[in-house]
Structure 1
Amino acid sequence: MALDIFVVMLYAAGMLLLGWFGMRRAKSHEDYLVAGRNLGPGLYMGTMAATVLGGASTVGTVRLGYVHGISGFWLCAALGLGIVALNLVLAKPLLKLKVFTVTQVLEKRYNPLARQASAIIMLAYTLMIGVTSTLAIGTVLQVLFEIPFWAAVVLGGGVVVLYSTIGGMWSLTLTDIVQFVIQTVGLMFVLLPICLYRVGGWDELVAKLPASSFNFSTIGYDTILTYFLIYFFGILIGQDIWQRVFTARTERVAKIAGTTAGIYCIIYGLVCAMIGMAAHVLLPDLANANNAFAAITKAALPDGIRGLVIAAALAAMMSTASAGLLAASTVLTEDLLPKLRGGKESSLGLNRLFTLLTGIVVLGIALVVSDVISALTLAYNLLVGGMLVPLIGAIFWKRATTAGAISSMALGFIVALVFMFTDGLEANTPIYYSLAASLISFIVVSLLSRQPAPAANLA
């Protein structure tokens, strides 16, 4: 494993070096949070795709492919279609606002109280996004290098925290581009072809797996619907993704490059699902399907090449972990902290300090949570159940009121928590009932409360 360890260490050193370059470019508050709102199509496409495709998309989709076959791709498909919709429909009004956070949009439409309430929900979501990919990083390093899980989390997650802290969005953008290239080469052009070769080719894969593995609905229509309710709509309103939209130089950049990134995500999902299918043939008796990615990488690849694919997986995970980390820090410094500081705005130094502190919290949570899909589901259930309805209403329904928005957020958030606790994280009921409760309370309370004054035009 010496050669593999060297390749991974070289990759980690490269990420830190790019973080340093990002620090040199992050000379202002706006540079640190949204890369100066100046990304062109290449940088924008790469950073958007790399942000979405993280630990759950990689390790999770390989696990779904291992268990359900090709239909495991629906998780990435929902994410990819969400990226397409976001950039085609919402990018134009978002770029006009010149804001830093999702919750600032709610303040423009409602009032500061709505911003504070939504910031708490967004903070919980962004923290769990960071935790999810940090967990995935730890899982891969633990299995492949046979080190304790806590050490894997601290080492892998520590690199993310360091480069995110020093350079902010510019560090994330530069590292994301390299990560995008590495994960594309490593998974699409190295791991998948070698796995298919080890199986004996596509025909042998078809012969050795049941026909249901090649059915796009095997995972279940209810699960597919849930993925769309959670991940498609979650992409439309997540701070980590919106913060990337804010970096686009123009609306045209967002539309073309963002749509390309969404299509890439769908293809990536198909690749990961097929890797999982090959793993099922080569390693049919895995005790834990969550380890399918790490196990097939370790079993199928030679030294050196294995290190490249490990770096590819880490690239996917680190990009999403850093996005969640910076998003959580941004919500803290832009939405919550000013309230405690008498309205005083944040500075570049304060942004760096809170990114570091948020990173430490993410590492701590990752040490006590175990399942990447469950952690991602928790994050998106809270986000979509609590914020989808009032945020879409803010943009498209003029009669919406602050009272309706806050009741919708509170009730949707609470209902999602209750049903996740009673029915489990993998149940469909949390998202169904939280959305229903959020929608009903939003409409009823808005209609019963005072007609709002003319609000900012967000559409």
Structure 2
Amino acid sequence: MSILDTLVILLYFFILISVGVAGVRKARTSEDFALAGRNLGLFIYLGCLAAVILGGASTIGTARLGYEFGISGVWFVAMMGLGITILGVFFARRIYGANVTTISELLGRRYGKQTRLLSALVAAVYTLMVSVTQVIGMGTIINVVLGWNLTTSMLVGGGIVLFYTILGGMWSVTMTDIIQFIVMTVGIFVFMLPISVSSAGGWEGLTAKLPAAHFDLSSMGADKIFQYFLLYVLGMVVSQDIWQRIFTAKTMKISRNGAIYAGIYSVAYALALSVIGMCALAVLPGIKDTQNVFASMALEVLPSGLLGLILASVCSALMSTASGTLLASSTLVTHDILKQYWFKDISDEKFVLMSRIITLLIGALAITFAIWIQDVLVALDVAYAILSGAIFIPVVMGFFWKRATQKAGFYSIVVGTIVVLAGLAIEGITSTNPIMYGMAASLLTMIVVSYVTPADSTSVLEAFKERAEEEEAGSEETGKVSSML
């Protein structure tokens, strides 16, 4: 890279750190730190939601899949887009109306304290693993661009994100995410995509240079596409980092519409990155480590100055998801475990301090795991396999099946988690079967235990329903007042 490109990236990092520091003044309460005061409008909410969905695995992974499989690589992130759209259409009203901070808090309200603790542990592992993927992605980019070894690159990239996340919590994450969303959108759609297509000789040149299979949406294979459905469509519906963003919206309508728009944006992003990967195959057919496809293509085709902007846009995608998932994991640990069992009477000021300390510890753990695993798609597969196999059934049936009992919810998570982990250990972490085994076991456990144990009292179910309806009505009234003002 030229000195100009390096300066652009360093300037970008400096801006993010500065904005993150500014977020400290807004993060005065625990709700500010975890949920940005539940006060985001549509544009900011949409940008933050899209930014947390489209991280390092989405950018680097989709370009890699486009290089290997062609247009079929779109399925990876398109399934995330489908999942977030389903979340907006069918679940946003119920989730937002519950007025909770975490998915575990909602499950605890429905199934009891034991389920809250267990689901918090499972969801915290998931969000930690997603953070790991982003650190791996940042390390990959820095490694290719600056030539540092991968371990050093991960330490630097992960350290920057950890720094501003600790300082301002969700307010810092929100403020930096808007910058990252804009840079990411401009970098990919305005510059990288058209320049890549042009470098490959236009669409006609691309079709002439690549095999026909690269233009077939199914070339990846039905089994892999189905795996992505299980991992990401179902995973998005019960993902704590996504739920935590849902809770930041000012009104229920904003939470629902923003999720739908973010889903549509994700599909467009997936298509753009798949095409960029295809162009890389035409221009650079000999890339050995396909995880470096995007960075290698950028270095090959972009002029000085613009290269720095594009690589900054990739770092934007990585950092936005990393900060969101780090905060989600620390929120689960502090809100659903530490505060519930050891620090019940902690003051709000001390709780914010504790949240910062836990975020630091989880961030250090994420960087350590990233250095150990070093494969962005493998790490993400493990994270979503655990989430989809263990949490999806209890969440959905808790909303839609009145007969589901508290014991059934608890044991369905226990059994689902055990089956998923055992399946991954036996069949390998790239196998789809453990997810289906886990979901089947979770569903069977939910049904059997619900019928062999006494039904929950009507008061428990009514309290759960009434609380959601009251909060939903309150959020809608707040929205009307906000619109009048």
TM-score by length of 1: 0.98
- Asked whether 1:368 is paired with 2:380, we answer no
Q: Which residue of 2 aligns with 1:278?
A: 279
Q: Which residue of 2 aligns with 1:358?
A: 362
Letter in 1 for 2:119: S
Deviation at 1:343, TM superposition (A): 2.6
Task: State the alpha-carbon separation in 2 of the partners of residues 95 and 420 from structure 1.
Answer: 33
Q: Which residue of 1 aligns with 2:308?
A: 307
1:119-130 equivalent positions in 2, closer than 5 A: 119-130=120-131
- Asked whether 1:386 is paired with 2:390, we answer yes
Q: Which residue of 1 aligns with 2:270?
A: 269
Listed one character per residue, the Cα deviations across residues 207-254 of structure 1 (whole Å, up to 9, x for unaligned) are 111111111111112211211111011111110000000001011111
Task: State the alpha-carbon separation in 1 of the partners of residues 399 and 382 from structure 2.
Answer: 26
CA contact (8 A) 2:96 2:255 kept: no
1:130-279 equivalent positions in 2, closer than 5 A: 130-279=131-280
Deviation at 1:257, TM superposition (A): 2.1
Listed one character per residue, the Cα deviations across residues 68-88 of structure 1 (whole Å, up to 9, x for unaligned) are 100101111111111111122
Listed one character per residue, the Cα deviations across residues 125-160 of structure 1 (whole Å, up to 9, x for unaligned) are 010011111110101110111001111111111110
- Asked whether 1:51 is paired with 2:52, we answer yes
Q: Which residue of 1 aligns with 2:353?
A: 349
Letter in 1 for 2:123: M
Deviation at 1:177, TM superposition (A): 0.7
Q: Which residue of 1 aligns with 2:107?
A: 106
Q: Report the 3-state secondary structure (helix = DSSP H, G, I; strand = E; otherwise coil) of the residue aligned with 2:372.
A: coil
Listed one character per residue, the Cα deviations across residues 396-425 of structure 1 (whole Å, up to 9, x for unaligned) are 111111221122111111111122122222
Task: State the alpha-carbon separation in 2 of the partners of residues 404 and 255 from structure 1.
Answer: 29
Task: State the alpha-carbon separation in 2 of the partners of residues 327 and 371 from structure 1.
Answer: 22
Q: Which residue of 2 aligns with 1:405?
A: 409
Task: State the alpha-carbon separation in 1 of the partners of residues 297 and 317 from structure 2.
Answer: 17
Q: Which residue of 1 aligns with 2:7?
A: 6
1:318-337 equivalent positions in 2, closer than 5 A: 318-337=319-338
Q: Which residue of 1 aligns with 2:89?
A: 88
> What are structure 2's unaligned runs of at least 5 residues?
470-485
Range with greater deviation from structure 2 (343-352 or 155-164): 343-352
Task: State the alpha-carbon separation in 2 of the partners of residues 136 and 450 from structure 1.
Answer: 49
Range with greater deviation from structure 2 (308-317 or 354-363): 354-363
Deviation at 1:288, TM superposition (A): 1.5
Listed one character per residue, the Cα deviations across residues 252-291 of structure 1 (whole Å, up to 9, x for unaligned) are 1112222111100000000000000001111111112111
The verdict on how the C-alpha distance between 1:313 and 1:342 changes in structure 2, with shifts beyond 3 A counting, is closer
Q: Which residue of 1 aligns with 2:476?
A: none
Q: Report the 3-state secondary structure (helix = DSSP H, G, I; strand = E; otherwise coil) of the residue aligned with 2:116.
A: helix
CA contact (8 A) 2:97 2:252 kept: no
Q: Which residue of 1 aligns with 2:426?
A: 422
Task: State the alpha-carbon separation in 1 of the partners of residues 435 and 190 from structure 2.
Answer: 36
Task: State the alpha-carbon separation in 1 of the partners of residues 310 and 211 from structure 2.
Answer: 28
Cα RMSD for the two superposed structures: 1.2
Listed one character per residue, the Cα deviations across residues 372-404 of structure 1 (whole Å, up to 9, x for unaligned) are 011001000001111000111111111111221
> What are structure 1's unaligned runs of at least 5 residues?
none
Deviation at 1:349, TM superposition (A): 1.6
Q: Report the 3-state secondary structure (helix = DSSP H, G, I; strand = E; otherwise coil) of the residue aligned with 1:286.
A: coil
Q: Could you list the structure 1 runs, at least 4 aligned residues long, displaced by more than 3 angstroms after superposition.
A: none
Q: Which residue of 1 aligns with 2:399?
A: 395
Deviation at 1:315, TM superposition (A): 0.2
Letter in 2 for 1:153: M
Task: State the alpha-carbon separation in 2 of the partners of residues 151 and 304 from structure 1.
Answer: 24
Letter in 2 for 1:96: G
Deviation at 1:339, TM superposition (A): 3.8
Q: Report the 3-state secondary structure (helix = DSSP H, G, I; strand = E; otherwise coil) of the residue aligned with 1:368.
A: helix
CA contact (8 A) 2:67 2:280 kept: yes
CA contact (8 A) 2:88 2:256 kept: yes
Task: State the alpha-carbon separation in 1 of the partners of residues 193 and 296 from structure 2.
Answer: 14
Q: Which residue of 2 aligns with 1:433?
A: 437
Task: State the alpha-carbon separation in 2 of the partners of residues 40 and 101 from structure 1.
Answer: 20
Letter in 1 for 2:328: A
Letter in 2 for 1:297: A
Task: State the alpha-carbon separation in 2 of the partners of residues 409 and 262 from structure 1.
Answer: 28
Deviation at 1:34, TM superposition (A): 0.4
CA contact (8 A) 2:51 2:321 kept: yes
Which among 448, 451, 456 is matched to residue 455 of structure 2? 451
Range with greater deviation from structure 2 (351-360 or 235-244): 351-360
Deviation at 1:162, TM superposition (A): 0.5
Q: Report the 3-state secondary structure (helix = DSSP H, G, I; strand = E; otherwise coil) of the residue aligned with 2:220.
A: coil
Q: Which residue of 1 aligns with 2:480?
A: none
Range with greater deviation from structure 2 (319-328 or 191-200): 191-200
Letter in 2 for 1:260: Y
Q: Report the 3-state secondary structure (helix = DSSP H, G, I; strand = E; otherwise coil) of the residue aligned with 1:367.
A: helix
Task: State the alpha-carbon separation in 1 of the partners of residues 256 and 426 from structure 2.
Answer: 41
- Asked whether 1:64 is paired with 2:65, we answer yes
Task: State the alpha-carbon separation in 2 of the partners of residues 104 and 12 from structure 1.
Answer: 35
Deviation at 1:342, TM superposition (A): 5.2
| Percentage identity across paired residues of the two chains | 41
Task: State the alpha-carbon separation in 2 of the partners of residues 274 and 26 from structure 1.
Answer: 40
TM-score by length of 2: 0.93
Deviation at 1:193, TM superposition (A): 1.1
Deviation at 1:124, TM superposition (A): 0.6
Letter in 2 for 1:371: D
Listed one character per residue, the Cα deviations across residues 294-325 of structure 1 (whole Å, up to 9, x for unaligned) are 21112222222111111000000101111110
Letter in 1 for 2:10: M
Letter in 2 for 1:221: A
Task: State the alpha-carbon separation in 2 of the partners of residues 44 and 314 from structure 1.
Answer: 20
CA contact (8 A) 2:111 2:410 kept: no
Task: State the alpha-carbon separation in 2 of the partners of residues 422 and 294 from structure 1.
Answer: 35
Deviation at 1:359, TM superposition (A): 1.2
Task: State the alpha-carbon separation in 1 of the partners of residues 434 and 5 from structure 2.
Answer: 42
